[in-house]
Amino acid sequence: MGSRRRVNVDTLNVELGTRSYPILIDAGLIGRAEVFRQHLPARDVLVLSNTTVAPLYLPALAASLGGRRIVEVILPDGEAHKTLASAARVLDVLVANRFGRDCAVLALGGGVVGDLAGFAAACYQRGVAFAQVPTTLLAQVDSAVGGKTGVNHPGGKNLIGAFHQPVLVVSDTATLATLPERELRAGLAEVIKYGLICDAALFAWLEEHLDELLARDGAALAHVIRRSCEIKAAVVGRDEREQGERALLNLGHTFGHALESATGYEEWLHGEAVGAGLSMAAAMSRECGLLTGAEAGRIVRLLERAGLPTRIASVTPAAALEHMRIDKKVLGGRLRLVLLRGIGTAYLTADYPPAALERTLAAHCG
Amino acid sequence: MGSRRRVNVDTLNVELGTRSYPILIDAGLIGRAEVFRQHLPARDVLVLSNTTVAPLYLPALAASLGGRRIVEVILPDGEAHKTLASAARVLDVLVANRFGRDCAVLALGGGVVGDLAGFAAACYQRGVAFAQVPTTLLAQVDSAVGGKTGVNHPGGKNLIGAFHQPVLVVSDTATLATLPERELRAGLAEVIKYGLICDAALFAWLEEHLDELLARDGAALAHVIRRSCEIKAAVVGRDEREQGERALLNLGHTFGHALESATGYEEWLHGEAVGAGLSMAAAMSRECGLLTGAEAGRIVRLLERAGLPTRIASVTPAAALEHMRIDKKVLGGRLRLVLLRGIGTAYLTADYPPAALERTLAAHCG
């Protein structure tokens, strides 16, 4: 394999003992063979991608993985394909190629591809190595980090899955140049979320620099990717399996997941649903007297400037509530929600007036 | 819930830190509500069983679980139903009943039901609680303990799965009274396996007391269940995820799994395939000069007395080899096998003459 020199790349570590792993962030990483030589020893690699991303980046990635046995699985693009049937297809290909426990599954694409590849890797032979090469802003700031893998069920988002940490995350920021505008905006929803949860300074920075992000300024994008990964890596390092603090990362997601499943995962990108969900979480926090009108207004304005939806016309309040009831944060029959006590301070609670939830849904749905 | 007194039952603990759990062994445990009250707090319980076991024991179990919401899934009996499709059916029922992350999945039956229930519990909402109520000797001595869950793939046994520990194992030895003769003998294969791996005294005890076991003497059965669980709990406590020592518990299983998948999981019970696999592992160890002829003879004689197959007519040597190649112990393309250096001493190795494997398969297959 030749060169054993250290790869010199901006690197963050997710600290999880024997399951720790690096997040590498830089433009052009997909073309750097030494990154994969150093961090991904597997001889047999299944690359999962989709019909949009594969033509753009799979040739360069395959070249960087040179010298190994590569098997490709290319799915249609979209959240509607994040199903148990797609995972079964990946498993069939692993078996058909006689891949052993020492193989790796590599995800090249956005959150759908990453969640699916991770779940297949978790289940194959009770767990094989898994690498993330995220090519969307949303995956680079959020879904590629932290080991939540899974697929959707017609009855609810991500209801089938596993905690399975990757061994490597390679965020090639050059891929964002080809990202559709709509995907870029969807990714910003998760960045805004980090600011709201625990970093008021990041939120204020976004208010100041949003136009640079929308213009795809490289330094601005690198800043929010790094800061988002820092926050997520720290939270995951303290609470890998969501026994507590990690649930805060789901701000806006209980609302958002319900809207996604109510619309059959077809109408919106995940990040768009999170945008509407953040708007609803802010409104609900305002209903509960936790946020000032000025704070709620700043949140909605930033979401609107990012081009994200803040309500949904195609789902009734009753349908939204019905889909929220199967959320993974339901405990003892009681739906827990992440709410805001201010910009930069989120908390998880089941202690809110049901009428506040009803008013929030009535104002944002249908 | 009333009574908070301690349950007074023979109890072993599997020591896995925060994931430690008790194995309770006694006659009549299914009918003792306080066992479940004490160890299984979940309010919502999905009970997975099969058409053979459910009529015998589900009414008593449901009574002991009284006061909770119980949903039942009853599968046809047999290894052929341990599939991803069956797991998907369990997941569908969990979603349809809006079960939350605080639910439990309880397996009432043998290894098929236990492996399947555990895998569904591992995948639902990224992991919910899971309890084992094994009703076969094989499940009580082996498969219900240790957290290996999974389903078969047409290409190989247990290729899809997860490590997911139960929170409770309740071995009601009274269930063995209704166990078909063939199932009893299949369970003995795993008991003989423990003796071969690490307990020459257990092996000698089996030579002495096999007839009592076949006559279902309660004390003899309780002895082998307890001793088998002691050995397995100790090994799993030291090596939960099979990084080393735990692989020894697969003595006879690489051969056995290949015979099962080559016959479509239809011809033999798992324990019968393990019986033939133990005979083949002994023959292979003899081929490699590791066992004396006298030792190999003792092993085959005990298997024969237990009524277990020691060879297979319906699978050719070539087909057996082909199916062995997808075993989870293949590393770097090399098939590793558990062999015996003597009765009571097993070890894992990829260092054996390929011709010894070919001769072993030629002598035992077709």
Say how many CB pairs under 8 Å bridge A and B.
100
Which regions in chain A score pLDDT beneath 70? 1-7
Euclidean distance between CA atoms B77 and B73, whole angstroms: 12
- The answer to whether residues B330 and B321 touch, using CB atoms and an 8 Å cutoff, is no
Assess B124–A contact: CB distance below 8 Å, yes or no.
Answer: yes
Set of chain B residues whose Cβ sits within 8 Å of the Cβ of A253: none
If contacts are CB pairs under 8 Å, which of residues 159-188 in chain A contact chain B?
159-163
Confirm whether B291 is domain-assigned: yes
On the 0-12 / 13-18 / 19+ scale of CB atoms within 10 A, B214 is: middle
Q: Is the pLDDT of residue B356 over 60?
A: yes
Both A152 and A249 in one domain: the answer is no
Both B156 and B23 in one domain: the answer is yes
Both A224 and A314 in one domain: the answer is yes
Both B290 and B170 in one domain: the answer is no
- The predicted pLDDT at position A167 comes to 97
- The predicted pLDDT at position B5 comes to 55
Label residue B6 by pLDDT band (50, 70, 90).
low
A266 is catalytic: no
Contact B92 A163 (CB under 8 A): no
The token pair that represents B178 in the structure block: 């209704």
* pLDDT top residue among B97 and A3: B97
Q: What is the DSSP string of A79-135?
A: GGG-SHHHHHHHHHHHHHTT--TT-EEEEEESHHHHHHHHHHHHHBTT--EEEEEE-
Set of chain A residues whose Cβ sits within 8 Å of the Cβ of B150: 126
Confirm whether B1 is domain-assigned: no
The token pair that represents B344 in the structure block: 């009571």
Contact B155 A122 (CB under 8 A): no
Euclidean distance between CA atoms B346 and B243, whole angstroms: 16
Closest-CA distance of chain B to residue A330, Å: 6
**Region of A344 on the Ramachandran plot (φ > 0 left; ψ -120 to 50 alpha; else beta):** left
Set of chain B residues whose Cβ sits within 8 Å of the Cβ of A91: 84, 153, 159-160
- CATH number for the domain that contains residue B101: 3.40.50.1970
- The answer to whether residues B19 and B4 touch, using CB atoms and an 8 Å cutoff, is no
If contacts are CB pairs under 8 Å, which of residues 315-354 in chain B contact chain A?
325-326, 328-333
Report CA B253 to chain centroid distance, whole Å: 11
Computed over every residue of chain B, the mean pLDDT equals: 95
Q: Write the secondary structure of chain B as one string of H (helix), E (strand) and C (coil).
A: CCCCCCCCCEEEEECCHHHCEEEEEECCHHHCHHHHHHHCCCCEEEEEEECCCHHHHHHHHHHHCCCCEEEEEEECCCHHHCCHHHHHHHHHHHHHCCCCCCCEEEEEECHHHHHHHHHHHHHECCCCEEEEEECCHHHHHHHCCCCEEEEEECCEEEEEEEECCCCEEEEEHHHHHHCCHHHHHHHHHHHHHHHHHHCHHHHHHHHHHHHHHHCCCHHHHHHHHHHHHHHHHHHHHHCCCCCCHHHHHHCCHHHHHHHHHHCCCCCCCHHHHHHHHHHHHHHHHHHCCCCCHHHHHHHHHHHHHCCCCCCECCCCHHHHHHHHCCCCCEECCEECEEEEEECCEEEEECCCCHHHHHHHHHHHEC
In B225-259, which positions are buried (b, 16+ CB within 10 angstroms) versus exposed (e)? bbbbbebbbebbeeebebeebbbbbbbbbbbbbbb
The token pair that represents B279 in the structure block: 């005979």
Contact B100 A331 (CB under 8 A): yes
Confirm whether B2 is domain-assigned: no
A232 is catalytic: yes
Both A192 and A306 in one domain: the answer is yes
If contacts are CB pairs under 8 Å, which of residues 69-88 in chain B contact chain A?
84, 88
Q: Is the pLDDT of residue B167 over 50?
A: yes
Q: Which residues contact A301 (CB under 8 A, 6 or more apart)?
A: none
The total of other beta-carbon atoms located within 10 Å of residue B336's CB is 19
In A42-73, which positions are buried (b, 16+ CB within 10 angstroms) versus exposed (e)? bebbbbbbbebbbeebbeebbebbeebeebbb
Active-site position among A81, A152, A158, A190: A190
Euclidean distance between CA atoms B347 and B345, whole angstroms: 7
Label residue B280 by pLDDT band (50, 70, 90).
very high
Both A237 and A269 in one domain: the answer is yes
Contact B98 A332 (CB under 8 A): no
Nearest beta carbon to residue A162 from set B98, B123, B328: B123
Domain boundary, last residue among A153, A178, A203: A178
Closest-CA distance of chain B to residue A295, Å: 33
Contact A126 B163 (CB under 8 A): yes
Q: Which residue numbers of B are catalytic? A: 126, 148, 190, 232, 242, 246, 250, 253, 257, 270
Rounded (5°) CA angle A293-A299-A305: 130
Closest-CA distance of chain B to residue A148, Å: 8
Chain A residue closest to B119 (CA)? A123
SS3 at position A217: coil
Mutation target for A interface from B116, B160, B257, B329: give the one with most A CBs within 10 A.
B160
Confirm whether A19 is domain-assigned: yes
Active-site position among A32, A81, A82, A148: A148
Euclidean distance between CA atoms B56 and A160, whole angstroms: 32
- The predicted pLDDT at position A7 comes to 65
Both B166 and B188 in one domain: the answer is no
The token pair that represents A180 in the structure block: 């559709």
Active-site position among A164, A246, A323, A336: A246
CA dihedral B77, B81, B82, B83 (to 10 degrees): -160
Both A113 and A129 in one domain: the answer is yes
- The answer to whether residues B139 and B100 touch, using CB atoms and an 8 Å cutoff, is no
- Residue B163: give the domain boundaries: 10-178
The token pair that represents A250 in the structure block: 């789901």
Both B209 and B320 in one domain: the answer is yes
- The predicted pLDDT at position B2 comes to 39
Nearest beta carbon to residue B125 from set A96, A127, A328: A328
Closest-CA distance of chain B to residue A129, Å: 13
Both A221 and A344 in one domain: the answer is yes
Q: Which residues contact A355 (CB under 8 A, 6 or more apart)?
A: none
A26 secondary structure, DSSP code? E
Domain boundary, last residue among A130, A154, A178: A178
Closest-CA distance of chain A to residue B279, Å: 25
- CATH number for the domain that contains residue A316: 1.20.1090.10
Contact B126 A163 (CB under 8 A): yes
A50 is catalytic: no
Nearest beta carbon to residue B160 from set A91, A98, A332: A91
Both B135 and B162 in one domain: the answer is yes
Mean pLDDT, rounded, for B344-353: 95
Chain B residue closest to A164 (CA)? B126
Confirm whether A1 is domain-assigned: no
Label residue B3 by pLDDT band (50, 70, 90).
very low
Confirm whether A219 is domain-assigned: yes
- The predicted pLDDT at position B7 comes to 65
- The predicted pLDDT at position B1 comes to 39
Confirm whether A156 is domain-assigned: yes
Both A206 and A275 in one domain: the answer is yes
Closest-CA distance of chain B to residue A150, Å: 8
Total structural domains within chain B:
2
Assess B150–A contact: CB distance below 8 Å, yes or no.
Answer: yes
Confirm whether A5 is domain-assigned: no
Set of chain A residues whose Cβ sits within 8 Å of the Cβ of B88: 84
Domain boundary, last residue among A178, A195, A216: A178
Closest-CA distance of chain A to residue B312, Å: 24
